[in-house]
Amino acid sequence: MIRVIRRPYVSEAKEGNQSMMIEEFVGRFSSETKSLSIARITSPAGRVESGRKPDFDEHVVVLMGCLRIESDGVVDEIHPGQAAIIPHGKRVCFSTPDDTEYFTVCLPAFAPRMVSWDR
């Protein structure tokens, strides 16, 4: 049977210097799916997250803007049409110098308890 998700679960992430919007289409909150999550992220220009270490693999595809990913002192810029794969347990810091929109796929599905934040 096909299961249609009529609308995403929408939340605001406040970690970092500015909030960003998360629209989870598939995952623990929108569809009670634990194996993976698929979400669209909208992040404002100038947003910088605290460093984090996720306990899941994260795949991102940038649709608009620029996503900067810092890890181990190296900064990668991901632009529209490009993707990045962040393995679980890898410490990263995301930032968006421009208004940025991207999709993220997390395996297993994202849950707040699965992220260790630098504080």
pLDDT given for residue 40 in this prediction: 98
User: What pTM was estimated for this model as a whole?
Assistant: 0.93
What pLDDT band is residue 118 in, cutting at 50, 70 and 90?
confident
pLDDT (tens digit per residue) in 17-38: 999 999 999 999 999 999 999 9
Helix (H) / strand (E) element for 77: namely strand 74-78
C-alpha–C-alpha distance, residues 99 and 81, integer Å = 15
Q: Indicate if the pLDDT at residue 119 is higher than 70.
A: no
Quickly list DSSP for 38-61.
Answer: EEEEEE-TTEEPPPEEESSEEEEE
pLDDT (tens digit per residue) in 74-99: 999 999 999 999 999 999 999 999 99
Residue-range domain boundaries for the chain: 9-111
Q: Which of the following CATH numbers is that of domain 9-111: 3.30.70.1560, 2.60.120.10, 3.40.190.10, 3.40.50.300?
A: 2.60.120.10
